[in-house]
């Protein structure tokens, strides 16, 4: 499925989705799938931690990463330039990861309890082991980091609503499918 984007950028939905998957994110044997949620204020190091500790073995659910892939090196306003394909791809990444009971990692700011609970409850009901990690940093350091962000550094503050919605929807759809089979 090719879609027209700014400046004639083209993408294939399945290629864009599949770039987030490799064999290392699969569960083995009777191992429970893991959902790792890296939570903390902007610029505390969530992405740095994710890229070092969770670079393999997990499907990354990250609206910013999908957006940057679609940007093909250009600089566009997040999320408006690619909102439709961003949601298509992100939704498909989350659905495949959840339906295949893959290990998943995502970043959230996590300022509101109810949306986080709405995400975690269905994942737990699916059998996911949930690991929520609160990431902190000295305030002066976060201010310095935030001020030095480049144009291709999109905060979880902006991406969270997408990531949270994709995983919550995927988990609820998987639970509904399981209920239909019973």
Give the other-Cβ count within 10 Å of 71's Cβ: 19
Q: Is 5 domain-assigned? A: no
pLDDT band at 155 (very low <50, low <70, confident <90, very high): confident
Distance separating alpha carbons of residues 109 and 85, to the nearest angstrom: 23
CATH number at residue 122: 3.40.50.300
Is pLDDT of 3 > 50? no
Q: Is residue 27 part of a domain?
A: no
- Tell which wins on pLDDT, 7 or 76: 76
Residue 1 pLDDT exceeds 80: no
The Cα–Cα gap between 4 and 15 comes to 15
Domain span at residue 71 reads 33-177
Residue 4 lies in a domain: no
pLDDT at 2: 43
Residue 7 Rama label (left phi>0; alpha psi -120 to 50; beta): left
The torsion defined by the Cα of 120, 121, 122 and 126, in degrees rounded to 10, comes to 90
Q: How far is CA 77 from the centre of its chain?
A: 19
Q: pTM to 2 decimals?
A: 0.91
Task: For residue 131, give the H/E element and its range.
Answer: strand 129-134
Residue 161: what pLDDT? 95
Measure the CA–CA gap between 23 and 56, rounded to whole angstroms.
Answer: 9
Residue 26 lies in a domain: no
- What integer pLDDT is reported at residue 5 of this predicted model? 55
Of 1, 173, 26, nearest to 100 by C-alpha is: 26
User: For residue 146, what pLDDT is reported?
Assistant: 84
Residue 90 located in a structural domain: yes
Could you tell me which residues are beta bridge partners of residue 105?
Answer: 36, 60
Phi/psi at 104 (5° precision):
-130, 145
The total number of structural domains in the chain stands at 1
Q: Is residue 147 part of a domain?
A: yes
Please report which confidence band the pLDDT of residue 26 belongs to, taking 50, 70 and 90 as the band edges. very high
> With contact defined as beta carbons under 8 Å apart, do 103 and 84 qualify?
no
Distance, in Å, from the CA atom of 135 to the CA atom of 72, rounded to the nearest integer, reads: 30
Domain presence at residue 28: no
Domain-located, residue 13: no
Question: 90-149: per-residue pLDDT in tens?
Answer: 999 999 999 999 999 999 999 999 999 999 999 999 999 999 999 999 998 888 888 888
């Amino acid at each position: 499925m090719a879609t027209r984007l700014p400046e004639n950028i083209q993408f294939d939905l399945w290629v864009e989705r599949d770039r987030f998957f490799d064999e290392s994110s699969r569960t083995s044997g009777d191992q429970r799938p893991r959902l790792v949620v890296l939570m903390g204020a902007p610029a505390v190091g969530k992405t740095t931690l994710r890229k070092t500790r969770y670079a393999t073995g997990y499907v990354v659910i990250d609206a910013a990463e999908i957006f940057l892939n679609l940007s093909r090196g250009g600089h566009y306003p997040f999320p408006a330039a690619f909102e439709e394909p961003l949601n298509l791809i992100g939704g498909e990444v989350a659905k495949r990861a959840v339906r295949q009971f893959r290990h998943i990692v995502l970043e959230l700011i996590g300022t509101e309890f109810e949306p986080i609970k709405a995400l975690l409850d269905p994942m737990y009901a699916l059998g996911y082991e949930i690991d929520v990690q609160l990431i902190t940093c000295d305030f002066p350091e976060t201010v310095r980091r935030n001020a030095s962000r480049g144009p291709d550094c999109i905060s979880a503050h902006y991406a969270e609503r997408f990531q949270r919605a994709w995983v919550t929807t995927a988990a609820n759809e998987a639970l509904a499918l399981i209920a239909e089979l019973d």
